[in-house]
C-alpha cells in the first residue's frame, strides 16, 4: 500500500529516524570535511541531530510547521558554524512553508523545500555551482516541484536521486564559498560535505517512508 501523505505523528517519527541515522553518519561526514574543509562537519551534524532526537522525544507539536521549525531552531542553536545556520535555516524555512499543515505531502513539501532553499540563500548568498549544499538541495527542490501525483515513497526517491546527482556534480566544482574556498582547484575531485548531508537527509526520509509502507 503506497502512502501519499504522512501524519504529524509519522512526520515526527520520520524526523526521529533521520536524527538517529545522521548521528551514525558522523565519521563519514567529518572525513569528507577533512579533505576539503576543516574536518568537523560530521561532529556538528551529529551534535545537532542528537539534540533534535532529544527534543523530538520529549515534545509534541500542533502542526508540521511547528515541528519543522523546532527541528530548525534546535539545529541552529546546537550545530553552530556554517552547517548550523544552513541546516537550521533549511528546516526553519520548511516549517514556515508548511505553516499549520497537519500532514505532509508532495504539494506542501515542495513548497516547504522551496522556502527552505530561499531562506538559506538569503542567509548565505550561495548560488548553484559554488560547491555547497545548495548544489544538492536546489536540484532536489526542482525535482519536487515538477513531479505530480506520486506516492510519498516515489516522491522522496525522486528528490533523493536529484540530490545525489547534484552532490556528485560538486566533485567537478571549484569551491567558491565556505572553508573549502581557499583551496581553489585543490577542492576538485571531492564532493561537498554539506551536499552529502542533504543527500543523506532525503535518503533517510525515504527509508523511513519505505519502512511504513
Partner 1 sequence: MPVIKKVINDPKQVAKESLEGLVLAYHGKVRILEDCSSIVRTDLPQGKVGLLVGGGSGHEPLFAGFVGENLADGSVNGNVFAAPSPDKILCATQAIDQGKGVLYLYGNYAGDNMNFDIAAELAADLDIETRTVRIWDDVASAPPERIEDRRGIAGDLFVIKVAGAAAASVSTLDDLFRITTKARDYTRSIGVALSPGSIPETGEYTFELGPDEIEIGMGLHGEQGVSRGKLIPADELVDSMIDRILEDMPLEQNDKVCVLINNLGASTMMELLIVNRRVMQRFSDDGIKVHDTLIGSFCTSQEMAGFSISLLKLDDELEKYYDTPADSFALKTR
Ligand X SMILES: Nc1ncnc2c1ncn2[C@@H]1O[C@H](COP(=O)(O)OP(=O)(O)O)[C@@H](O)[C@H]1O
Binding stretches for ligand X (CB under 6 A): 33, 37-38, 40-41, 44, 81-83, 86, 120, 124-126, 132-134, 177-179, 192-195
Q: Does 135 bind partner 1 (CB under 8 A)?
A: no
Tell me whether residue 130 or residue 157 sits nearer to partner 1 (CB atom): 130
Residue 205 CA to residue 15 CA, distance in Å, equals: 7
Cell, residue 25: 553518519
Q: Which stretch binds partner 1 (CB under 8 A): 38-46, 63-71, 100-108, 161-169?
A: 38-46
Q: Which stretch binds partner 1 (CB under 8 A): 28-36, 98-106, 154-162, 201-209?
A: 28-36
Q: Does 23 bind partner 1 (CB under 8 A)?
A: no
Instruction: Supply the minimum distance, in Å, between the C-beta of residue 200 and ligand X.
Output: 12
Q: 170: which residues sit within 8 A by CB, 6+ positions away?
A: 131, 132, 135, 136, 191, 192, 195
Instruction: Supply the minimum distance, in Å, between the C-beta of residue 47 and partner 1.
Output: 7
Instruction: Supply the minimum distance, in Å, between the C-beta of residue 182 and ligand X.
Output: 12
Q: Does 30 bind partner 1 (CB under 8 A)?
A: yes
* 42 and 34 Cβ atoms separated by less than 8 Å: no
Q: Does 52 bind partner 1 (CB under 8 A)?
A: no
Is residue 189 classed as helix, strand or coil in its secondary structure? coil
Residue 84 CA to residue 45 CA, distance in Å, equals: 8
End-to-end CA distance of the chain: 6
The interface partner of residue 47, options being Mg ion, ligand X, partner 1, none and the CB cut-off 5 to 8 Å by kind, is partner 1
State the DSSP code for 58: T
Within 10 angstroms of residue 15's Cβ, the number of other Cβ atoms is 25
Amino acid at each position: 500500500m503506497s502512502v501519499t501523505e504522512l501524519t504529524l505523528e509519522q512526520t515526527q517519527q520520520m524526523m526521529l529516524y533521520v536524527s538517529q541515522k545522521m548521528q551514525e553518519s558522523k565519521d563519514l561526514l567529518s572525513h569528507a570535511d577533512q579533505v576539503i574543509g576543516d574536518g568537523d562537519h560530521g561532529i556538528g551534524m551529529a551534535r545537532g541531530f542528537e539534540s533534535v532526537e532529544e527534543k523530538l522525544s520529549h515534545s509534541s507539536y500542533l502542526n508540521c510547521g511547528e515541528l519543522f521549525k523546532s527541528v530548525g531552531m534546535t539545529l541552529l542553536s546546537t550545530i553552530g558554524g556554517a552547517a548550523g545556520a544552513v541546516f537550521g535555516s533549511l528546516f526553519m524555512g520548511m516549517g514556515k512553508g508548511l505553516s499549520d499543515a497537519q500532514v505532509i505531502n508532495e504539494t506542501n513539501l515542495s513548497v516547504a523545500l522551496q522556502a527552505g532553499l530561499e531562506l538559506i540563500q538569503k542567509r548565505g548568498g550561495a548560488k548553484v555551482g559554488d560547491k555547497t549544499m545548495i548544489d544538492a538541495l536546489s536540484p532536489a527542490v526542482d525535482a519536487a516541484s515538477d513531479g505530480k501525483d506520486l506516492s510519498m515513497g516515489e516522491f522522496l526517491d525522486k528528490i533523493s536521486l536529484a540530490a545525489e546527482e547534484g552532490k556528485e556534480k560538486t566533485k567537478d566544482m571549484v569551491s567558491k564559498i565556505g572553508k573549502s574556498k581557499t583551496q581553489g582547484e585543490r577542492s576538485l575531485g571531492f564532493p561537498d560535505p554539506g551536499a552529502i548531508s542533504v543527500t543523506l537527509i532525503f535518503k533517510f526520509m525515504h527509508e523511513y517512508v519505505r519502512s511504513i509502507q
